[in-house]
């Protein structure tokens, strides 16, 4: 199997640090791995977590709930009908204060602006996060959310692998070792070693996500990466 499983990662952390489960217990390593996963998630824009959800707005309701697991919204589209997503437009993102001033009379119509309300929704809750709309929808327009979802975290038995562990195992290991040596309070040279290794790998991984995955040879040309060579 490609990548690394949670169980193997846990074993590797203990082997690399030469520390037993007495100090690096399962619960401690679970937190170390979680911190490493979220560091990678925020250091690199990962395409696997870009999602699209489609639903209908509720007439005379000024908000729309975010999809479960949404972390942030990249764009919102509104269209007239569901059959062919007819006549779609992208809404313009504004602050809540702008929407309050723009639609002080609480007029209804086809929405033109949206603003964020609340934070991320969690993996199962759809009510803690929403967007506000202005004008308030006067019909059940169909809309699409373009958003980034929170990553599924690694857990023993229930979720042994995820996108990061399967596609960026070395970076995950290095990020986890940085967290582990920070927890162990040294040695400093080992923490610096794996911090350097992590930064090298996250640069390559980020280049893959932003460069190769979001470009094509026809419109953008081949991605060219400079390779340093020794001076003759």
Q: Tens of pLDDT along 117-155?
A: 876 555 544 455 789 999 999 999 999 999 999 888 898
pLDDT value at 224 more than 80 = no
Supply the mean pLDDT for the chain: 87
Residue 83 pLDDT: 63
Contacts of 159 (CB under 8 A, 6+ apart): 6, 152, 153
More confident residue, 139 or 216: 139
21's tokens: 């489960």
Angstrom distance (rounded) from CA 221 to CA 175: 33
Q: What does the pLDDT read at residue 13?
A: 97
Specify the pLDDT at position 117. Answer: 85
Quickly tell me which residue has 């934070």 as its tokens: 119
- The Cα-based distances of 208 to 44, 211, 214 in angstroms read 10, 5, 9
pLDDT-based confidence at 222, cuts 50/70/90?
low
| Residue 18 backbone class (left: φ over 0; alpha: ψ -120 to 50; beta: rest) | left
Inter-axis angle of helices 26-43 and 188-207, to 10 degrees?
40
List residues bridging with 134 in a β-sheet.
113
Q: In the predicted model, is pLDDT for residue 199 greater than 60?
A: yes
Spans of all domains in the chain = 6-46+152-215, 49-149
Per residue in 53-107, pLDDT (tens digit) is: 999 999 999 999 988 888 889 999 999 876 667 788 999 999 999 999 999 999 9
Q: What pLDDT sits at residue 33?
A: 96
This prediction has a pTM of: 0.79
pLDDT of residue 194: 96
Residue 150: the pLDDT is 86
Beta bridge partners of 136: 108
Does 32 score more than 80 pLDDT? yes
Average pLDDT for 40-45 = 90
pLDDT of residue 125: 44
What does the pLDDT read at residue 152?
86
What secondary structure does DSSP assign to the chain, as a single string?
Answer: --S--HHHHHHHHHHHHT--TTTS-HHHHHHHHHHHHHHHHHHS--GGGEEEEEEEPPTT--EEEPPTTEEEEEEEEEES-TTTT-S-EEPEE--HHHHHHHTTT--EES--EEEEEE---TTT-SSSEEEEEESEESS--EEEEEEEEPPPPPBTTTB---HHHHH-HHHHHHHHHHHHHHHHT--HHHHHHHHHHHHHHHHHHHHIIIIITT--HHHH------------
pLDDT of residue 142: 93
Q: Dump pLDDT digits (tens) for 60-73.
A: 999 999 888 888 89
Task: Name the burial class of residue 104, with classes exposed (0-12), middle (13-18) and buried (19+) by CB atoms within 10 angstroms of its CB.
Answer: exposed
């Amino acid at each position: 199997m490609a990548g690394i499983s949670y169980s193997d990662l846990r074993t590797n952390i203990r082997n690399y640090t030469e520390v037993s489960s007495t100090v690096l217990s399962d619960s401690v390593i679970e937190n170390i791995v979680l911190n490493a996963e979220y560091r990678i998630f925020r250091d690199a824009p990962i395409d696997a977590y870009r999602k699209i959800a489609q639903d209908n707005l509720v007439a005379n309701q000024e908000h729309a709930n975010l999809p479960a697991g949404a972390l942030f919204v990249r764009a919102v589209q509104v269209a007239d009908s569901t059959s062919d997503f007819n006549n779609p437009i992208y809404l313009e993102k504004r602050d809540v204060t702008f929407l309050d001033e723009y639609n002080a009379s609480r007029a209804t119509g086809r929405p033109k602006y949206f603003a964020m309300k609340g934070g991320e929704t969690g993996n199962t809750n759809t009510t803690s996060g929403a967007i506000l709309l202005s004008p308030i929808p006067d019909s059940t327009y169909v809309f699409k959310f373009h958003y980034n979802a929170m990553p599924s975290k690694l857990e023993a038995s229930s979720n042994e692998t995820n996108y990061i562990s399967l596609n960026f195992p070395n970076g995950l290991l290095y990020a986890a070792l940085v967290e582990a040596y920070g927890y162990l309070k040294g040695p400093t040279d080992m923490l610096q070693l794996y911090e350097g290794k992590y930064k090298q790998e996250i640069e390559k991984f980020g280049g893959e996500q932003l460069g190769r995955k979001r470009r094509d040879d026809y419109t953008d040309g081949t991605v060219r990466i400079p390779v340093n060579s020794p001076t003759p």
